[in-house]
A and B are shown apart, each in its own frame.
Chain A
Amino acid sequence: MTTPTTDPTLAPDGIPIKRNRWFPARKRLPAAWRRPLAVVGIVIILTWTVVALLAPWVAPHDPLAQDFDRYQPPSGDHPFGTDVVGRDILSRVIYGARVSLPLAVLLVTLSVLVGATVGAIAGYVGGVVDAALMRVVDLFFAFPAIILAMAVAASLGPSLTNAVLAIVVVSWPAYARVTRSLVLSLRETNYLAASRLLGDSSGKALIKEVMPNVAGPVLVLASLELGNAVLLLSGLSFLGLGAVPPSPEWGSMVSAGAAVFYNYWVALFPGLAIFTVVLGFNFLGDAMRDALDPRSARSVATSEL
């Protein structure tokens, strides 16, 4: 890497302040917000959040009411048409936000918590513990997520809870790896040593010095994963392994529409909902990543550092 004399990543004494590279530099965020895609992303997510929160008032009908004629094409009464048992699809799509959004957030939060904890411990403690934990991480990385989810659902019965658990089990390793490599490189800085000298215990040093520096890239990864979480959840429900009827989950609604795909509206609108939500999350995450560290794409991706 080049080292011009005015490199902001160097402290005055010439030692790289790696810390600043990853710490969420607040002054950079507004720049992100000036990007059009980020704005679009925020608007989309906010809209869906509002829709989800205000569903009972926004939805024209009860999502479970089977009162209407079956398979009605979109019309004034039913802008998204009706489904196989005569329910209003627009209402179901709206209520579906209440299922997908919170679960995606929950899923990512759990994965981050588990993964970051394991990764931080591995990176900080090092040695045998590190090696053992990383082998476990490898195991879960190699285990095909979808097969695990299918087997869990087949045995314990399909349910959103089981689907979320299955996905968390295979998602946390990514965060573990990232956290571990970040912690490893942090260990080499003087900050931890300094903190220990000043009398902090290992644990406190871990929390005070390590976590804030780790938070940035991990959060970036998490925000990018939110979209993925929605896709995985709806994918499992599409296969019949997630949501249980009559829950208005988008993936299972697309699945119901697949059998009668010439009644295009049954599968089209729930799928569109998934698309826009994931797009929103990805726009946002993408812009965040650009703003916080244009190079983090590479450092996060290289797995063996």
Chain B
Amino acid sequence: MRISRGGAFVAAVLAGALALTGCTPADTTGPDTAKDVLVVGKSFDLNTADPARSFETTGGIFGRAVYDTLLTFGKGDATTPIPMVAESYEVNEGATEYTFMLRDDVVFSDGTPLTSADVVFSFDRVKNIQGNGSFLMEGLSVTAPDESTVIITSEKPNTAIPAIITAQTLGIVNSELVKANGGTDAADASTTDTAEEFLNTTSAGSGPYIIETFNTETETVIVANPNYWGEPAAYEKIVLKNATAENQLMDIQSGTIDIALDLGADQLPAIESNPDLAIESGISPTIFFLFSNANPEISKVTSTQAFRDAVKYGLDYDGLLEIAGEGSEQVAGVVPSVFFGALKPADVTVRDIDKAKAAVAELGDIDPISLEYPSDFSVAGISFGAVAERVQANLKEVGLEITLAPSPISTALDSYRGGTEEMGLWLWNPDYPDPADYLVFAPDNIVGLRAGWTGGSHPDLVALSEQAAVATEEAERGEIFREYQLAMNEVGVFAPLFQPAATVVAGKDIEGAVFSAVFGIDLTYIGK
């Protein structure tokens, strides 16, 4: 019996091989090359298709094409929000009240018109569902005086609101449809809302695409929305395929995917001379940083100014840029260069070996310090391991002994968030495209606490960060954020390293595939 099975298998293989030889390689390795299907390769960090619960890049990429927001950004832009569902808006004197006037021609994928009630429902749902993106609604409340007006009120002055509402988390859902399928925006939504399962299979948005299949492991497929209120979608079907950066490199060359989103600078040389591919590079807003724990209970050594200076002046920033790859830039402060309020290139920290060695001498005899980082995580093709190894080598040159202590991300996140790492190598992705997001690095704030940094040690910095949070006038904001970052650099608990280059590699005939610092890539601009 076994032999005949083997025989059948051999026969099948032979038949298949014969059939394959009759086909050209393109047939067996690629999808239709017609404009009907677009295949995008992405390394998935996908959790859910429910916009209110979604706050990760991959979910945002297809969410952007499925759900509309009040405002959005133009192709490749990250500075000026433009109208979308809201055709205009006004803001009051103190930046505590924003009034949005909605378009009257927006319809959902099932044909029902979009009204202010849907906006209010969606925003309240985000607020109460206690998901990863709920913090966006912190201190905000939303009301609808009539069908085409929405007012967002903020407890404190908040000039970041136009930027915040472009987030895919605040995508507007069809409230009737969602409510009919277990959705709620009530205060206890975190336990009573059950619409996620529904939303993972059927989209309830007004965007140019709707969800066909959703899978967090293999691929997610969206198809053109037949009832779309705007310009028709450029593609019949867009496939978002889960592939590691290595696989994306192979796939883009074999034509299996049309766009690769995660290729790193080190991988580009393989395809630079490929006539069928076009490489679009931008600067990613992700910042890589190093921190030395400021809590003396964690380490008496890293919490000293001498150690911080040793690290700050001991790092070879240009050498690190080599690891980060071509197109990457050293970041001068914690606010990335693509956003308003960033420091100028002239403000970057420069290596000073003598100062570093002097600082090390002050420390005297010390045990090696452990540097923790995630071992299985890479962004834009940069592996944390390579950066960490270079950091270790740099600091060794000035006399500091560092031992590397990587662990898988779940374990590493634990010690990072618990504030127990002596030194950590991590990154920060913007929550929204505004410098206010970067106040998290201040003492007593989210990331500051992870570096063991409490307000008592640097009260002036705390004061600066509080000022920056409420400043409304643009010039004033620019000044304060500049002071804040310079003061942060002085202390040096955080040593900002670099921003990697962000590349989108696409087939030459595909238009509009550009990197967006806000969305990663905006699918709705492709093909146009």
Contact = CB atoms under 8 A, between A and B. Distances in A.
A70 B390 CA distance: 12
Contact of A154 (B245, B385, B408): B408
Contacts, number: 64
A246 B404 contact: yes
A154 B375 CA distance: 10
Interface of B: 245-246, 249, 264, 266-267, 269-270, 322-323, 375-376, 378, 381, 383, 385-386, 388-390, 392-393, 404-408, 410-411
B266 A260 contact: yes
Given A155-B411, A244-B406, A259-B245, A66 B270 contact: no
Task: Provide the main secondary structure of the chain B interface.
Answer: helix
B389 A246 contact: yes
Contact of A246 (B264, B383, B392, B407): B392
A153 B411 CA distance: 10
Given A71-B266, A153-B408, A240-B408, A261 B246 contact: yes
B406 A85 contact: no
Among A71, A155, A245, A256, the one with the most B-chain Cβ atoms within 10 Å of its Cβ is: A245
Contacts of A85: 323, 386, 389-390, 393
A66 B397 CA distance: 11
Interface string A36-71: 000000000000000000000000000010100011
19 contacts: A64-B393, A70-B322, A84-B266, A84-B323, A85-B323, A86-B322, A154-B410, A155-B411, A157-B406, A158-B407, A240-B376, A244-B404, A246-B392, A258-B246, A259-B264, A260-B270, A261-B246, A261-B249, A262-B269
Contact of A245 (B246, B266, B269, B406): B406
Contacts of A244: 404-406
A64 B381 CA distance: 22
A4 B246 CA distance: 63
A154 B404 contact: no
Nearest to A155: B411
Interface residues of A, number: 22
A256 B408 CA distance: 16
A211 to B, nearest CB: 41
B375 A158 contact: yes
Interface string A138-161: 000000000000000111011000
A33 to B, nearest CB: 39
Interface string A231-272: 000000000100011100000000010111110000000000
Nearest to B415: A157
A86 B316 CA distance: 14
B289 to A, nearest CB: 19
Contacts of A258: 246
A118 to B, nearest CB: 32
Contacts of B389: 66, 85, 245-246
Given A66-B390, A70-B322, A256-B383, 18 more contacts: A64-B393, A66-B393, A84-B266, A84-B383, A85-B390, A154-B410, A154-B411, A157-B407, A240-B375, A240-B406, A240-B408, A245-B388, A245-B389, A246-B404, A256-B386, A258-B246, A262-B269, A262-B270
